[in-house]
Amino acid sequence: MKLRNFFQGDIRDDAENGIQELMRAILVRAQFSPGVRHAIGWR
Amino acid sequence: MKQSINAVEGWIAKIRGYAGIFGLHFEGIEETPGWFTGSFGLCYFADPDEALVEHCSLLAAAYCQRPDYISLVREFLQHDKMASYFRVGKLFLAIDIRQRYLYLGMESLSVQRSIAKDGVCLQHNGHMVQVIKPGEYDQDFPALPVTQAFFDVLASSLVFHLEQSPDWMLERCFPGVEIVYDNEGIIRKSPASDIHEVLIGLGFGDCRFGDIL
């Protein structure tokens, strides 16, 4: 699994912040590529 | 997309096919041995002009008509009750302790329904006006398709980032309930044969994902 493609954190350090950081990475990273963003379904 | 920061982190976002705005906010870590599982509340702030507003609760519909509605949505975590009035479902994001496997899940009722047992009357120009008749629906919101639409986009983003399709999928269906309230403030849940609760999960990696449910 290529987690490092989009997330460099370590959840074990702080699970509560880490899991929010992971969700943020999923949500935000796709926004930086307009073509991909729209193809996926974001607007 | 925008972050709405309060004590917890939240985001708002729009997706294709829906005129309203989705709000996602962190609710806490769930106990799952061997995993870190975060739960996130999902809201849908309907556009005041879309037909879905008719299916929102009276309280939510009243929010939609406020001139500062969009400002409230942008900072929805800072306004009491906004998240609960517009809630449509719950999302789960889990990663195993060694960070080798990921799980993304959702749960939602097919319909979020509340019934005003005694009806609802509001004062208008000095007169009491009945806005909901006794026994009629206050809310009858199709929460499942709305939640699933957002989940599909989120899952597609994860597939794109990981460069792989899910290795595992689960869909479970349970009997659902509706809410009945009266003028004395008594609220009870009642089984509803036409409502079901749906759980959908996707797993990434070769793992026994059923163990985290």
Residue of A nearest to B164 (CA): A1
A contact residues 7-26, partner B, Cβ 8 Å cutoff: 10-12, 15-16, 18-20, 22-26
Residues in A touching B204 (Cβ below 8 Å): 1
CB B24 to CB A24 under 8 A?
no
CA distance A32 to chain B (A): 11
How many Å apart are CA B184 and CA B206, to the nearest integer? 53
Assign B132 to helix, strand or coil.
strand
pLDDT digits (tens, 9 = 90+) for B112-167: 999 999 999 988 888 889 999 999 999 999 999 999 999 999 999 999 999 999 99
pLDDT by residue (tens digit) across B52-90?
A: 999 999 999 999 999 999 999 999 998 878 999 999 999
Amino acid at B179: I
Give the 3-state secondary structure of residue B203. Answer: strand
Question: How much is the pLDDT for B123?
Answer: 86
B33 in reach of chain A (CB within 8 A): no
Percent of chain A with pLDDT over 90: 44
Cβ distance B143 to B111 under 8 Å? yes
Sorted by where each begins, the domain ranges of chain B are 2-109+140-176+194-212
Instruction: Decide: pTM greater than 0.90.
Output: yes
> Quick count: other Cβ atoms within 10 Å of Cβ B147?
25
> Can you list the alpha helix ranges (DSSP code H) found in chain B?
58-64, 69-74, 82-85, 143-162
More confident residue, A35 or B174: B174
Q: Is the pLDDT confidence value at B8 over 80?
A: no
